[in-house]
Amino acid sequence: MAVTETLRSGAWRVVELLTTPLVPADYLDVVAPLRNPGVLRAKIEAVRPETRDSVTLVLRPGRGWRPHEPGQYVRLGVDVDGVRLWRAYSVTCAPGGLSVTVNAVPGGAVSNYLIGNARRGMLVHLDLPTGDFTLPRPRPGKVLFVTAGSGITPVMGILRSTLPELRDVVVVHSAPDREAVVFGAELRALAAEGRIRLVERHTRTEGRIGPAELAELVPDLSERDTWACGPNELLDALGAYWLEAGIADRLHVERFRPTVIATGDGGKVTFARSGTVVEADGGVPLLEAGEAAGVLMPSGCRMGICFSCVLPMTEGAVRDLRDGQITTAVEGDNVLVQTCVSAAAGPCHLDA
Amino acid sequence: MTTLQRKSANPIAHLSADDIEAIGRELDAIRDEVVASRGERDAAYIRRVIRVQRRLELGSRAVLIFSLFPPAWLIGTAGLSIAKILENMEIGHNVMHGQWDWMRDPKIHSTTWEWDNASPAEQWKHSHNELHHTYTNVIGRDNDLGYGIMRVDEGQRWHPIHLGQPLWNFVNACFFEYGIAAYDLELGRNLPSKKRRRAPEFKARLKQVRRKIGKQVLKDYIVHPALSGPSFLHTIAANATANLVRNLWTHSVIMCGHFPEGVETFERNSIEGETRGEWYLRQMLGSANINGSRLMHIMTGNLSYQIEHHLFPDLPSNRYQEIAPKIRDLFQRYGLSYVSGPLPKQVGSAWAKVFRLALPNRGAAKLAADAPRPPAPGRGPANRWQRPSEESLSTPVSS
């Protein structure tokens, strides 16, 4: 056993020597990009419009994919105007396939790009499914899904997979109007068949649902395990209500929007590895701020052309001192910034 | 002919400090324009170049499996030479400069790219991006002025060993990738001193270089030849030839960047307190371009636009051709000389300098080089990264 392993790894080392300093997969990319085990990609197989500003992408993942758990999300890496931007999308189909539904975000770079330009055959980058917005086993007896807008997407993924295993499901969904309800026809069909109880709220004419009204619409609310997904205001309000009612552990929440990044002048810079925290002025390069605090910072030309000072920013905002441009990162990101020409524009975290 | 500061006729005597800062502002504006318009077209360009290069290399190596047959040998070697040149020049050098980092593609990024060359990327980036591009053409600080084995300026001290420099230059050209590795390791400085060559940092770098060379040698001279079975020896010859062609070509192109007549060198103390505008100006005066066809530009990795590259080393190489007319115009308006010429002329000029400076200084050149060193500007530390604001133009900026 060990001998075959050694032989196999030895043989692979020889194959790698054929392509060094590249890896064999880099040449494979030239002919079969989906077969690259090191870089996960997906091909768009179909593009289906859902509502006037949402579109479902049916994807075929490449090698290295593993099936998702209903309710989880994937990150898609899309090259928009030459820059690779990553966004998270809930998986809306049952395990075994991969489809996501993209909702247009006003001014959003990726959503609007995909809705306008996604075509069959396009390649996008992919990350493995993740997230804990999933139903436990054994399945809960009574379930409530509270969603608004694009928040319906993870719930749709759950309904399309797990509905046969659920006895009692209530879906309370809010959207501006009837036509804006993503998966509207499918949800109404399920309700008509009696598989779910659907409460549809059209906020433009009927106003928004608050937790108190929700409690009236769903009297046995406290007996239900609840999954909620939608705008932060809704989720915050639900969270407070559930907490006060003493049933906070029965509410599961999925947020789509990160906390807002403050882009003032200067800010607190946290250097993750050394644990150093520096209050940096908005005109001082991160490099100097770090060095002054005794952090070991890589550097080079100290003028922005050699890229030796580049460090990953995992969270926060920085301003390029050369042109004032702001670069932001949210948790989970790993945006590389040149510390010698960037200053803090709000709190930020550097992996150094 | 010596450093700019010791010349009797100073080519920038007509520029005031305000002029220099104005040049800086104009160049910053050109830079901003390119940065703002970087997008899909540029990303598509580099991806296409990489695709073409990899296909060419793959195809050439496949053809070389049959290198026993002369047509296959010729086609394979030619293809592989071009593939190696493309990888080193248009792709590797430019990616490692961070020109494509803006795409946020981890596969095409200065922090991850490793190139098909004896010198490890990390060491190249230090000696090239950091040192050469910051201290361009400063005697005593930019080792690209002769690579430590030649003298290319009257301001560099003559030593009898320089008599052989045409030969050293030719040898370096043939084995250029190893020359670069030795240069990046600063072998000339580190080997003679027992303390330096035993230093853990140097030993670590030496190990890194040994491993890189080891893999390159195994690839080109053992594994691929072995794959070609009976063509074993012919493939070795083919790969050696491709490496030689690449070495000779890249060496020639790189010589054209800073050695031809008309390119200025600078005193070490002249860059004290250097401002952004002054750094730009030094790059303008210390670089030379090559005229030629589109094919020539791509085969030089757009280093035929050496001036544009030195002004903006981190802007996508495909943009240099587009901004060249604006740069040329800037030179003309400020009364500066835009040094450029066809490839054979520039290579000839560089080699002529190598021959001429193999001998000690004589005549006017000797007088100029022996003149007392001009005093330093007497300013604080340099802050080349800082863009001048309107108010700070006449007051020295401290960091």
Q: Tell me how far apart the alpha carbons of residues B82 and A30 are, in angstroms, rounded to a whole number.
A: 18
Q: Tell me how far apart the alpha carbons of residues A167 and A143 are, in angstroms, rounded to a whole number.
A: 8
Looking at beta carbons, which residues of chain A come within 8 Å of B104?
83-85, 335-336
Strands A41-51 and A54-61: antiparallel
Q: What is the mean pLDDT of residues A235-248?
A: 94
The letter for the amino acid at A223 is E
- Are residues B129 and A305, on separate chains, in Cβ contact within 8 Å? yes
What's phi and psi for B324, nearest 5 deg?
-55, -45
Tell me, yes or no, if A25 comes closer than 8 A to chain B by beta carbon: no
What's phi and psi for A32, nearest 5 deg?
-140, 80
Question: Structure pTM?
Answer: 0.87
Looking at beta carbons, which residues of chain B come within 8 Å of A81?
39-40, 43
Q: Quick check: A259 pLDDT over 70?
A: no
Quick one: pLDDT at residue A140?
95
Q: Domains of chain A by range and CATH?
A: 34-126 (2.40.30.10), 142-255 (3.40.50.80), 267-350 (3.10.20.30)
- Are residues A21 and B116, on separate chains, in Cβ contact within 8 Å? yes
CB pairs under 8 A between A and B: 123
Looking at beta carbons, which residues of chain A come within 8 Å of B235?
none
Nearest to A83 among B35, B103, B218 (CB): B103
Identify from B104, B124, B383, B387 which residue to disrupt to test chain A contact, counting A C-beta atoms within 10 A and taking the largest count: B104
Encode pLDDT of B320-338 as tens digits: 999 999 999 999 999 999 9
Identify the closest residue of chain B to A85 by CA–CA distance. B104
Instruction: Using alpha carbons, list the distances in angstroms from residue B200 to B120, B196, B197, B204.
Output: 18, 9, 8, 6
Looking at beta carbons, which residues of chain B come within 8 Å of A21?
114-116, 212, 215
Q: Quick check: B256 pLDDT over 90?
A: yes
Looking at beta carbons, which residues of chain A come within 8 Å of B105?
79, 84
Quick one: pLDDT at residue B389?
64
Q: Quick check: B166 pLDDT over 80?
A: yes
Instruction: Using alpha carbons, list the distances in angstroms from residue B295 to A229, B170, B304.
Output: 56, 25, 11
Looking at beta carbons, which residues of chain A come within 8 Å of B102?
82-83
Q: Is the peptide bond prior to A138 cis by the omega test (within 30 degrees of 0)?
A: yes
Q: Which of B311, B313, B323, B317 is nearest to B280 (CA)?
A: B311
The b/e string for A20-48 (b: 16+ C-beta within 10 A; e otherwise) is bbbeebbbbbeeeebebeebbbbbbeebe
**B110 pLDDT band (50/70/90 cuts)?**
confident
Smallest Cα distance from A105 to chain B, Å: 21
Angle at which helices B70-86 and B232-258 pack, to 10 degrees?
40
Q: Quick check: B1 pLDDT over 70?
A: no
Q: Tell me how far apart the alpha carbons of residues B174 and B355 are, in angstroms, rounded to a whole number.
A: 18
Q: What is the mean pLDDT of residues A298-312?
A: 76
What is the average pLDDT value for chain B, to the nearest integer?
93
Instruction: Using alpha carbons, list the distances in angstroms from residue B155 to B127, B261, B368, B369.
Output: 22, 15, 9, 5
Encode pLDDT of B8-28 as tens digits: 888 999 999 999 999 999 999
Quick one: pLDDT at residue B391?
47
Looking at beta carbons, which residues of chain B come within 8 Å of A29?
54
What is the average pLDDT value for chain A, to the nearest integer?
90
Contact in structure between A146 and A237 (CB atoms under 8 Å): no
Encode pLDDT of B261-315 as tens digits: 999 999 999 999 999 999 999 999 999 999 999 999 999 999 999 999 999 999 9
- 3 state SS of B252: helix
Contact in structure between B231 and B68 (CB atoms under 8 Å): yes
Minimum mean pLDDT range among A275-279, A300-304, B42-46, B385-389: A300-304
Tell me, yes or no, if A324 comes closer than 8 A to chain B by beta carbon: no
Q: Quick check: B394 pLDDT over 50?
A: no
Q: Quick check: A261 pLDDT over 60?
A: no
Q: Quick check: A150 pLDDT over 70?
A: yes
- Are residues A26 and B54, on separate chains, in Cβ contact within 8 Å? yes
Quick one: pLDDT at residue B339?
97
**B396 pLDDT band (50/70/90 cuts)?**
very low
What is the DSSP secondary-structure string of B285-298?
Answer: HT--EEE--HHHHH
Looking at beta carbons, which residues of chain B come within 8 Å of A17?
215, 218-219, 222-223
Q: Quick check: B395 pLDDT over 60?
A: no
Q: Tell me the residue ranges of DSSP E strands in B216-315.
A: 289-291
Quick one: pLDDT at residue A257?
63
Angle at which helices A24-31 and B40-63 pack, to 10 degrees?
110
Q: Quick check: A207 pLDDT over 90?
A: yes
Q: What is the mean pLDDT of residues A91-110?
A: 95
3-state SS track over chain A: CHHHHHHHHHHHHHHHHHHCCCCHHHHHHHHCHHHCCCCCEEEEEEEEEEECCEEEEEEEECCCCCCCCCCCEEEEEEEECCEEEEEEEEECCCECECEEEEECCCCCHHHHHHHHHCCCCCEEEECCCECCCCCCCCCCCEEEEEEEHHHHHHHHHHHHHHHHHCCEEEEEEEECCHHHCCCHHHHHHHHHCCCCEEEEEEHHHHCCCCHHHHHHHCCCHHHCEEEEEECHHHHHHHHHHHHHCCCHHHEEEEECCCCCCCCCCEEEEEECCCCEEEEECCCCCHHHHHHHCCCCCCCCCCCCCCCCCEEEEEEEEEEECCCCCEEEECCCCCEEEECCCEEEEEEEEECC
- Are residues A306 and B107, on separate chains, in Cβ contact within 8 Å? no
Encode pLDDT of B31-50 as tens digits: 999 999 999 999 999 999 99
Please list, in sequence order, all residues whose beta carbon lies within 8 angstroms of the beta carbon of residue A49, skipping any fewer than 6 positions away.
A55, A56
Tell me, yes or no, if A79 comes closer than 8 A to chain B by beta carbon: yes
Q: Which of B358, B364, B376 is nearest to B153 (CA)?
A: B358
Residue B245 tokens read as 């062609």
- Are residues B98 and A306, on separate chains, in Cβ contact within 8 Å? yes
- Are residues A82 and B116, on separate chains, in Cβ contact within 8 Å? no
- 3 state SS of B300: coil
Residues A170, A173, A178, A181, CA torsion sign: negative
- Are residues A307 and B41, on separate chains, in Cβ contact within 8 Å? no
Tokens 């990390």 -> residue? B122
Q: What is the mean pLDDT of residues A330-336?
A: 87
- Are residues A310 and B227, on separate chains, in Cβ contact within 8 Å? no
CA dihedral A218, A222, A228, A234 (to 10 degrees): 80
Smallest Cα distance from A343 to chain B, Å: 12
Position with higher pLDDT, B102 vs B213: B213
Quick one: pLDDT at residue A283?
83
Tell me, yes or no, if A122 comes closer than 8 A to chain B by beta carbon: no
What is the DSSP secondary-structure string of B73-135?
Answer: HHHHHHHHHHHHHHIIIIIIIHHHTTTTGGG--TTS-TTT---SSSS-HHHHHIIIIIIIHHS
Q: Quick check: B398 pLDDT over 50?
A: no
- Are residues A30 and B54, on separate chains, in Cβ contact within 8 Å? yes
- Are residues B130 and A82, on separate chains, in Cβ contact within 8 Å? no
Encode pLDDT of A49-97 as tens digits: 999 999 999 999 999 999 999 999 998 999 999 988 878 899 999 999 9
Contact in structure between A227 and A252 (CB atoms under 8 Å): yes
Smallest Cα distance from B235 to chain A, Å: 13
Q: Which of residues 166-225 of A touch B (CB under 8 A)?
A: none
**A323 pLDDT band (50/70/90 cuts)?**
confident
The b/e string for B289-308 (b: 16+ C-beta within 10 A; e otherwise) is bbeeeeeebbbbbbbbbbbb
Position with higher pLDDT, B170 vs A8: B170
The complex's ipTM works out to: 0.87
- 3 state SS of B234: helix
- 3 state SS of B138: strand
